[in-house]
Chain A
Amino acid sequence: MMIRPFLYDFKRTITSTSVLILIGIILLISLAIIPFTTPIVSSFRGSGSDILYYRDPGAYHFIVFSSDQYGQPLQGTKISMSLSGVKTYANATTTNSEGYAFITLSAPNGTYTLAVNETNGANMASFGWYMFASPIGEPQFSIGSPISTVQDRANASKRDVQTFYAALYGAKPSGYSIRYKVAATSPPPPYKDSTPYTKDQMDFLGNLTNYRQVFDPAIADGLPGTTSVWFELFAPNGTAVSGTEIPVFELRQQQFRPEATNIASSFFSTILSFFMPLAAILGAYSSYGKDRLTGVLESILARPISRRGLAISRFLSTLTALAVAAIVSVGLVDLVLNEVVGSVLPQDYALAIISGLVVEIAAFTGLVFLLSHLVKSTGVLLGISIVLFVVLDFFWGLIIFLLTLLLGGTSGSAVALEATLVSYYANPAQFLQLINVYVFQSSSGTTLQSSNYGVTLPAIVLDGFLWAILPFLAFMYLAVKRD
């Protein structure tokens, strides 16, 4: 094989207009990561609602406040609650227009396990808590705390202070106030009992007039993030009833964003994993399939280049162009994540993703090159390629699901999960899913031990190697040995 014509064809193919356009599109698509980094506003704040309770001699009374991430009340959240001890006591209700729900469970004083289920639209939260015997009438917290922070609705870069409190026997707080003090050190001196500052030593923030209120503390700009701000709730008689220390960085914390790896994994396994096979199909069609089936390739083959050289140069140039696009794309995603989220992908994960994308590109490029030797027209080639793409990319899950049902499995069962995971080996379009399952040890939000389902590193490496090499070898055989 003369190397010069090979390199010439390689260079010309990799710099052809169609390949360059594809690279450009891939890079543009990598910017689609940006919407993935936008804050996730859940119907629920954190893992659920704020709940406090008090008891009287015959029952426990719960006050629940359901809010979104901005601390805004959520009406209509269904709250189911049960106390399990010697006996189980249960009740349910929904939150009112102020986001409150009031539930009474006629249980005697004792030690219980509290279980709460909340549903608001498609959002659900469940949690449990131990409750110990408590004094009559005194408000107790089971979930949340009297002073916490919520995202400021108008300013994405700061958080406000939320109070959630009740007077004796669940009465609305009256005469209570919240105060704060910016301290240079943590814990701030003087620290007396549980109250570091007296009421007079602190700055007034607001009076409590309802169970739940939001206050905007005027924290000066330029304070170091580690500076502590001490917040205290004072009863009408001036005694501190609850206090908490919140560092300045938490008050300036931006809205909740998932970490870089989580954003990237969902982006890679949806957008890039979807687009890369399509890019490989179009790239392979443009650089080889079309030319071969229209006969244009013969005008090249009549030049001083071997059949093997031409076949390898076309395959490698397509693969290289798309692989470079994939690498730059992952780099761009990393840059965006660094800029927006403030963290970058772990190197190992980035390499795994790049390898996975290269396997997808090699497999689909090889398959289209191979198909070019098995069909007679460009229309048939494109048709089969697109059908292959649609089936492998869109309908794979459905096909495996139906097969599982046919074989007697049930949706969501361990057998169905195993069938799904094992099926990823047979589908190059799902190769990134395989990597994600291995890296995160989870599938569709279900935590699992991937090795129990046959998803191991050696198996993934072998599968990737086979997908990268087998279609190429089959294509090479036909390209070199057959017309």
Chain B
Amino acid sequence: MFEIKAATKVFSAKQGPAISSVSFDVRNGEIVGFVGLNGAGKTTTIRIAVGVSLPTSGTVVIDGRDITREKPEASKSIGWVPEIPNFEPNAKAWKLMRYLAGFYGIDRKEATKESKDLLASVGLSGFENRKFRTYSQGMKKRFSLAVSMLSNPQNFLFDEVLNGLDPEGIQFFRQLMMGQKKVNKAILLSSHILTEVENLADRVVFIHKGKVVKTATRDELASYAAKGTTLRIQFQNITDDAVSYLKTLGTVLIEGNAIVLSDFQGDSSQVNTELVKRGLQVREIKHERTGLEEYFFEIIRRTDTAK
């Protein structure tokens, strides 16, 4: 397992912190989704967690070892697949693997065998002799995945690994993550593809503007979905009367001339009838599916509104 404790990163005093007091953990046998908008701080957090970036304050503990103070030992337990894998471009894949295996104390003969086996296991059999720079984006991610498994680490951090993959690639990663979970590995999955996160994650950590704004379990997500649907009601003009009425039906968020009514359970046509009776001009009522995506946006909306 690994635990991120109050990690803060300031790149520039003028810009403010990229992440601020980010704390969460990923336990063994668990897949944790890590979601947020672009620039929310997901990659920064992951880079700190794997030790390639230094936190301004806070720390990350990997299987009981501090990534900053005990990096070599802590790094042995980490497998990292970055969003854009970046290895020596002119090296042949299997030689690159063998070279990197040396850092784990794997002897040359063993490393040669393991490299070829791992490359085969990620579907790169037959491509071992190609230079890294000739790989496609998907192949680079598979290669990076093979590298991340070199030391059979207890913890995996996948940063937008599903980006740019074809359906077969996405399925491969999905199955791999499920397989690793079954053997009790701790997995952090950062992704924009929220349906995948929803399907895979046991918990989801929401990060927004550098701060963790919510951590939701699979049960919490399920109960959110069970709470009801979300209606998006577009008005000509919003009145206090309309807001008062809709608040009796669910949670109200005002966005311009629209009201987002969540946790709604009922018949939307009756809502329309009642609003018209009250003399309000309803331009549109739209059903929105309740899932991680809505949950995510709702959380963001609430966070921004609270500010």
Residues of chain A touching chain B, judged by Cβ–Cβ distance below 8 Å, are 1-2, 4-5, 8-9, 12, 291, 294-296, 298-307, 309, 481-483
Contacts and interface: CB of A to CB of B under 8 A. Distances in A.
Contacts of A305: 71-72, 75, 103
A304 B76 contact: yes
Interface in B34-84: 50-54, 71-73, 75-76, 78, 80, 82
Contacts of A300: 100, 103
B104 interface: yes
Contacts of B105: 4-5
Contacts of B99: 12
B86 interface: yes
Contact of A9 (B51, B73, B103, B147): B103
A291 B82 CA distance: 17
Q: In the complex, which of the residues B75, B100, B151 has the most CB atoms of chain A within 10 Å of its own CB atom?
A: B75
A298 B147 CA distance: 13
A302 B50 contact: yes
Contacts of B78: 302
A294 B51 contact: no
Report whether over half of chain A's contact residues are helix, strand or loop; otherwise say mixed: helix
24 contacts: A2-B72, A2-B73, A5-B103, A8-B103, A12-B102, A291-B88, A296-B86, A298-B52, A299-B85, A299-B88, A300-B100, A301-B52, A302-B52, A302-B75, A302-B78, A303-B103, A304-B72, A304-B75, A304-B76, A305-B72, A306-B72, A307-B71, A309-B72, A481-B54
B245 interface: no
Q: In the complex, which of the residues A4, A9, A298 has the most CB atoms of chain B within 10 Å of its own CB atom?
A: A298
Contact of A302 (B51, B54, B73, B88): B51
Contact of A295 (B54, B86, B151): B86
B104 A304 contact: yes
A1 B72 contact: yes
B297 interface: no
By size class, the interface of chain B is 20 to 34
Contacts of A309: 72
Sorted from nearest, which 8 A-B pairs have the closest CB atoms? A303-B103, A2-B72, A304-B75, A304-B72, A295-B86, A298-B52, A304-B76, A8-B102
Interface string B243-273: 0000000000000000000000000000000
Nearest to B88: A296
Given A298-B86, A305-B103, 7 more contacts: A5-B72, A8-B102, A296-B88, A300-B103, A302-B51, A303-B103, A306-B72
A477 to B, nearest CB: 13
Contacts of A8: 102-103
Contacts of A481: 54
Contacts of B147: 299
Contact of B51 (A2, A4, A291, A301): A301
Contacts of B104: 303-304
A306 B71 contact: yes
